[in-house]
Structures are given as structure tokens and as C-alpha cells.
């Protein structure tokens, strides 16, 4: 009988102990599975984000220093030369294609294209584009000759940029020219197609926005919305251009994971330098005093040089990240 009474009294004790141990084990298992206890993981996560940010800043600083040491300024000048040779024939071809499909008013063409130019170069670019639009006779021959000239200059640009990427990554390209040519030509054609399509979209969408506003009697709001939407489209086109260019580098640095960080840095630097240079030319007036009537052309060339320099700094950023990852892998091994 004593045994019978002792069993029930011990049973709940054991059950309670088992329940306590079960609750403790459940709590431990829940936290071990990745569910953080309140207040235990917030500080490490915050510290991790801060360390990642400062690590990116240090990588960017090293990238700028490496770009200076590896003559990125000279390579940017060579890229600017071929970019200018390719840009205006490509725009002339674009205006010819637009003319073949029903040309819009010539006075509306520059408005969608000069948004990125420095203030002093906008009149020059606007007048040049307006002259090209008025004299583009909508003939197939004009578009063909312009396309050939733009393709040659774009191939030269892609070849120079490809050699720069190999130099930045520290990889020697031993392949003969005939093996590298297909990738260079493909890169150049993709860049031209992207430029032509985006330009046509800007031109046609501008005319469509004006006509839609007039048709719906909403004029100003529709045009304002179109002008605001140009910036996301512009950033998207710039990002696609950068990724296409970075894909022409060494085989080990062509993946999206390897090129996207430097591409983001390049686009961000391009936007910052474009805005800063536009403000500088508008406020200071130095180029007008130094170059007189040529101030617009010189400002445009300097802006193109800054744009190509931003691309090269982005490529250096990818190279620095790859070196850091390789060093971390070796130290971990």
C-alpha cells in the first residue's frame, strides 16, 4: 500500500521534472534552430552591418588608389576618344531610323537627350542634335553609313575596355586577336543596340507624353510625370551598359555576382560626378573664361572622361573585392 501511494507521489514529480526538462529542451532547440532570443542578436547584427559598410568604404578607397596607380586616367582618356567617335554617328543613325518611322518635331529631340550634359555643353549638344535631326533625310544609306562608323568606333571602345579589365584583374590575355574579336564585336553591338533603343524610347515617349497630355487636357502633369520617369529608366540603362562592359573581362570575373558590386559603384560614381560637374560648370564659369566659344565642347569631353573614369573605378572595386575574398579564403584554409 505504501508502494502504491509512493508511486503517485513520485509520478507527478517525475512528470513535472520531465516537463521542465522538456520545456528547457524545447527552448534550447528553438534558439539553436535560428530563432534568436529577444535582445541577444540585435547588437551583433548591427555591428555586422557597420563592419560591412566600413569594409566597403575601405575597398572603395583602395580602388581609387589602385586606379590612380594603374594609370586609369590615361585609359579613361582613350575610352573617351572612342566613345565620342561612336556617340554622334550612333545618334545620327538613331535619328535616321526615327525619320524612317515618322520623325517627330526636330525641336523636341534634344530635350530628352541633353538631360545629363553639363550646363555649358547643353547648347552645343542641343544645336548639334537639332542640326542632325533637320538634315537626317530619312534614307537607308545615311543610317547604314552612320551605323558602320558607330560600329567601328564602338568595337575600338570595347577592345580598349577589355584590355583595361584584364590589366586591372592582373590577368594576361594570351589569346590571339581573332579569338577575342567575337566577344569584342558582340559587346560593341549590344552597346549600340542599347543606345539606339533607349534613345528612340526617349524621343518617342516624349512625343507620346505631350500628345497624351493634350488629348486628355492634362498637359503639364503628364509631361512632369514623364520627366520624372526618365531617371529610373536612365539608371537602368546605365546599369545594363556597365554589366555588358564588365562581362568582357577575364573569364573568372564575368559572373553577375562578381560584376554587380562594381557596377553599382560605377553607376553611383557616374551620377555623383555628373551632378557635381554640372553644378561646378553652372556656378563657377571657369570653362567660359578659359576656353571661350569652345567651353561647351571641352566641358562635354571632360564629362565623358569622368564617366569612363567611374567605370574603371568600378572595375577596380570588383578586383579589390576578389583579392580580399581570395586572401580570406587562404587565411581560413
Kindly write down the DSSP assignment for every residue of 70-132, as one continuous string: TTHHHHHHHHHHHHHHHHHHHHHHHHHHHHHTT---GGGTGGGTSTTS-GGGHHHHHHHHHHH
Cell of 120: 555649358
Residue bearing the bigger pLDDT, 121 or 310: 310
Q: Counting beta carbons within 10 angstroms of the beta carbon of residue 91, is it exposed (0 to 12), middle (13 to 18) or buried (19 or more)? A: buried
Cell of 112: 530628352
CA distances from 39 to 23, 27, 43, 44, 46 (A): 20, 15, 8, 10, 12
Confidence of residue 81 (pLDDT cuts 50, 70, 90): very high
Q: CA 297, CA 309: separation in Å to the nearest integer?
A: 18
H-type helices in 175-294, by residue range? Answer: 177-215, 219-246, 256-284, 286-291
Residue the block writes with cell 520623325: 103
Confidence of residue 209 (pLDDT cuts 50, 70, 90): low
In a domain, 43, yes or no: no
- Asked whether the beta carbons of 237 and 229 are under 8 A apart, the reply is no
Q: What is the largest CA-CA distance in the chain?
A: 116
Q: CA 239, CA 155: separation in Å to the nearest integer?
A: 20
Which of 70, 67, 69 has its CA nearest to residue 312?
67
Q: Residue 198: its pLDDT value, please?
A: 77
In a domain, 269, yes or no: yes
Residue 174: pLDDT over 50: yes
In a domain, 47, yes or no: no
- Asked whether the beta carbons of 195 and 89 are under 8 A apart, the reply is no
Cell of 179: 579569338
- Residues 6 or more apart from 73 whose CB is under 8 A from it? 67, 309
Residue 8: pLDDT over 50: no
The angle, 0 to 180 degrees and rounded to 10, between the axes of the packed helices 140-169 and 295-332 is 40
Give the count of domains, the chain: 1
Q: CA 314, CA 38: separation in Å to the nearest integer?
A: 40
At 37, is the secondary structure helix, strand, or coil? coil
Cell of 325: 575574398
Residue 87: pLDDT over 60: yes
Residue the block writes with cell 545629363: 116
Domain that holds residue 284: 72-332
Cell of 44: 551583433
Q: Within its chain, how far is the Cα of 14 from the centroid? A: 66
Confidence of residue 195 (pLDDT cuts 50, 70, 90): confident
In a domain, 53, yes or no: no
- Asked whether the beta carbons of 72 and 312 are under 8 A apart, the reply is yes
In a domain, 6, yes or no: no
DSSP class of 36? P
- Asked whether the beta carbons of 74 and 302 are under 8 A apart, the reply is no
In a domain, 20, yes or no: no
Q: CA 160, CA 32: separation in Å to the nearest integer?
A: 53
Q: Residue 152: its pLDDT value, please?
A: 93
Kindly write down the DSSP assignment for every residue of 156-207, as one continuous string: HHHHHHHHHHHHHHT----S-HHHHHHHHHHHHHHHHHHHHHHHHHHHHHHH
Mean pLDDT of 193-219: 69
- Asked whether the beta carbons of 121 and 300 are under 8 A apart, the reply is yes
Q: Residue 111: its pLDDT value, please?
A: 47
In a domain, 133, yes or no: yes
Q: Model confidence over 51-71: pLDDT tens digits?
A: 777 778 888 899 999 998 888
Would you say the pTM of this structure is higher than 0.75? no
Amino acid at each position: 500500500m505504501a508502494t502504491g501511494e509512493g508511486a503517485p507521489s513520485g509520478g507527478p514529480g517525475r512528470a513535472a521534472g520531465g516537463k521542465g526538462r522538456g520545456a528547457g529542451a524545447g527552448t534550447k532547440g528553438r534558439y539553436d534552430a535560428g530563432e534568436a532570443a529577444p535582445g541577444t542578436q540585435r547588437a551583433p547584427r548591427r555591428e555586422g552591418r557597420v563592419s560591412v559598410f566600413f569594409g566597403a568604404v575601405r575597398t572603395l578607397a583602395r580602388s581609387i588608389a589602385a586606379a590612380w596607380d594603374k594609370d586609369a586616367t590615361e585609359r579613361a582618356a582613350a575610352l573617351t576618344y572612342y566613345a565620342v567617335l561612336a556617340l554622334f554617328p550612333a545618334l545620327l543613325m538613331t535619328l535616321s531610323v526615327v525619320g524612317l518611322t515618322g520623325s517627330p518635331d526636330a525641336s523636341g529631340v534634344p530635350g530628352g537627350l541633353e538631360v545629363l550634359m553639363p550646363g555649358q555643353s547643353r547648347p552645343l549638344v542641343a544645336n548639334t542634335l537639332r542640326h542632325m535631326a533637320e538634315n537626317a533625310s530619312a534614307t537607308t544609306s545615311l543610317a547604314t553609313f552612320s551605323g558602320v562608323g558607330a560600329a567601328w568606333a564602338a568595337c575600338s571602345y570595347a577592345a580598349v575596355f577589355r584590355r583595361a579589365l584584364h590589366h586591372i584583374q592582373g590577368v594576361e590575355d594570351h589569346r590571339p586577336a581573332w579569338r577575342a574579336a567575337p566577344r569584342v564585336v558582340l559587346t560593341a553591338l549590344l552597346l549600340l543596340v542599347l543606345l539606339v533603343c533607349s534613345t528612340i524610347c526617349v524621343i518617342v515617349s516624349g512625343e507620346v507624353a505631350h500628345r497624351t497630355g493634350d488629348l486628355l487636357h492634362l498637359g503639364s502633369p503628364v509631361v512632369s510625370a514623364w520627366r520624372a520617369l526618365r531617371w529610373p529608366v536612365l539608371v537602368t540603362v546605365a546599369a545594363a551598359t556597365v554589366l555588358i562592359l564588365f562581362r568582357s573581362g577575364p573569364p573568372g570575373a564575368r559572373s553577375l555576382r562578381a560584376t554587380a558590386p562594381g557596377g553599382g559603384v560605377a553607376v553611383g560614381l557616374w551620377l555623383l560626378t555628373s551632378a557635381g560637374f554640372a553644378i561646378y560648370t553652372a556656378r563657377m564659369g571657369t570653362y567660359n573664361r578659359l576656353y571661350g566659344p569652345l567651353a561647351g565642347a571641352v566641358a562635354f569631353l571632360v564629362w565623358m572622361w569622368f564617366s569612363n573614369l567611374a567605370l574603371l573605378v568600378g572595375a577596380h572595386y570588383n578586383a579589390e573585392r576578389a583579392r580580399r575574398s581570395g586572401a580570406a579564403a587562404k587565411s581560413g584554409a
